[in-house]
Structure 1
Amino acid sequence: MKGHAADSIISYAERSRPDLVVVGSRGMNDLPGYLLGSISRTVLTHGPCSVLTVKSPLDAPVSVLLALDGSKPSKFAANRVKEWLSSEEVTLHLVSVVPDILTDASQKVFPKSRLKALVAPLRQQAQEYLDQYRELFLKEGFQVVGKRLQGNPREKIVESVPTCHAQLVVMGSKGLTGVERFTMGSVSEWVSAYAPSSVLVVRH
């Protein structure tokens, strides 16, 4: 294929319609800790299918971190884990992050009691996601650990990678978490860039 590598990969994927594109993470960015090269980043952002960014070998048994936020892409990512990974070779860490809305800026606008009232249902929803998928994956024979966190979703996901000894992070490409309306796309790109593990971003 001729032309810019990322454009050529995307163009070929659009024609051949694979389920997955696998890219390396060779960094070409001077930002400290930024582990995603320009080609990988472009394919991840504009590619038509799921993208696996490989940073190290995946040796069985594999420790996998699945990020859940209740969105349709997140549910699709969970389905891909069931379809693509063997329950006999995987320990699954389910992580759901409640956005931290108790910031200094928000407390200047809203009473703290009001903010706490907003956070309570988000925590409940996150726990429901974890409980639902924990039962689902247990029935499929996976070893499952669930964890509910609060804070910045992209930072908490990356921070959880060494804690879980995760070799692979799996997440949806876009989504909504709680009352904060943001694209999971920006979160998935950030996690792909800064997580020390390989990252699978699932597209429907």
Structure 2
Amino acid sequence: MTELILVGTDGSETAALAVTEAAGLAANLDAKLLILTAFPSLADTKLGEHARDMPAPKHWRSAQRAEAEKVLTTAVDSLGQSAISVETIAQEGDPAEAILRVAEKRQADIIVVGNKGMAGVKRFLLGSVPNKVAHHAPCSVFIVRTT
């Protein structure tokens, strides 16, 4: 029985399609939907010449978390008056690693991601969120064709 569907979003149009598909899947399977977004840690940010203009780490993290919460609010609002149970979570760090970590911890039954970033040299050299999730997930992965 499918109890928890985890979907990752970054607020993009393609991620919004993944959220919509995940919500439909959750409704059809009578499952809970967990919407996740990730925000960069200060350690992962390339500061370069802008380092002196950066706010203190505590304020920077708060600002990043606030932006992540806006992404989650928009995702939930896009579902309208859905009858499904929805929960949101913002995680600091790499998006793919955050999805995998939460899927493991929460024992997700299905992970839903969009296919953006799955093709070309960039995927081969750098990897991508859907590619990394598909290869390392502790459960089934549903990749939504968005392009």
Asked whether the two chains share a fold, i.e. TM above 0.5, the reply is yes
Contact 1:93–1:164, Cα closer than 8 Å, also in 2 = no
Matching residue of 2:19: 78
SS class of match (1:155): helix
> Alignment partner for residue 89 of structure 1, among 30, 41, 50?
30
Q: 1:121 to 1:172 in 2, by over 3 A?
A: farther
Q: 1:72 to 1:108 in 2, by over 3 A?
A: closer
> Alignment partner for residue 97 of structure 2, among 148, 155, 167?
155
Pick the structure with greater CA Rg. Answer: 1
Matching residue of 1:171: 113
Instruction: Give the letter aligned to residue 125 of structure 1.
Output: E
Instruction: Give the letter aligned to residue 144 of structure 1.
Output: V
Structure 1 residue ranges without an equivalent (≥5): 1-58, 176-181
> Alignment partner for residue 87 of structure 2, among 145, 156, 159?
145
Contact 2:23–2:33, Cα closer than 8 Å, also in 1 = no
CA distance in structure 1 between the partners assigned to 2:33 and 2:24 by the alignment? 14
Report matched runs for 1:40-189 at 5 Å: 59-60=1-2, 62-86=3-27, 89-100=30-41, 102-103=42-43, 106=46, 110-111=51-52, 113-114=54-55, 116=57, 120-137=62-79, 139-174=81-116, 186-189=128-131
Displaced runs of 4 or more, over 2 A: 81-85, 104-109, 111-125, 132-138
Instruction: Give the letter aligned to residue 103 of structure 1.
Output: A
Give the deviation of 1:122 after TM superposition.
Answer: 3.6
SS class of match (1:69): coil
CA distance in structure 2 between the partners assigned to 1:160 and 1:146 by the alignment? 11
Identity %: 23
CA distance in structure 2 between the partners assigned to 1:115 and 1:74 by the alignment? 30
Instruction: Give the letter aligned to residue 33 of structure 2.
Output: L
Structure 2 residue ranges without an equivalent (≥5): none
Contact 1:90–1:143, Cα closer than 8 Å, also in 2 = yes
CA distance in structure 1 between the partners assigned to 2:116 and 2:44 by the alignment? 27
Aligned-residue Cα RMSD (Å) equals 3.1
Normalized per residue, the structure richer in helix is: 2
Aligned residue-pair number: 138
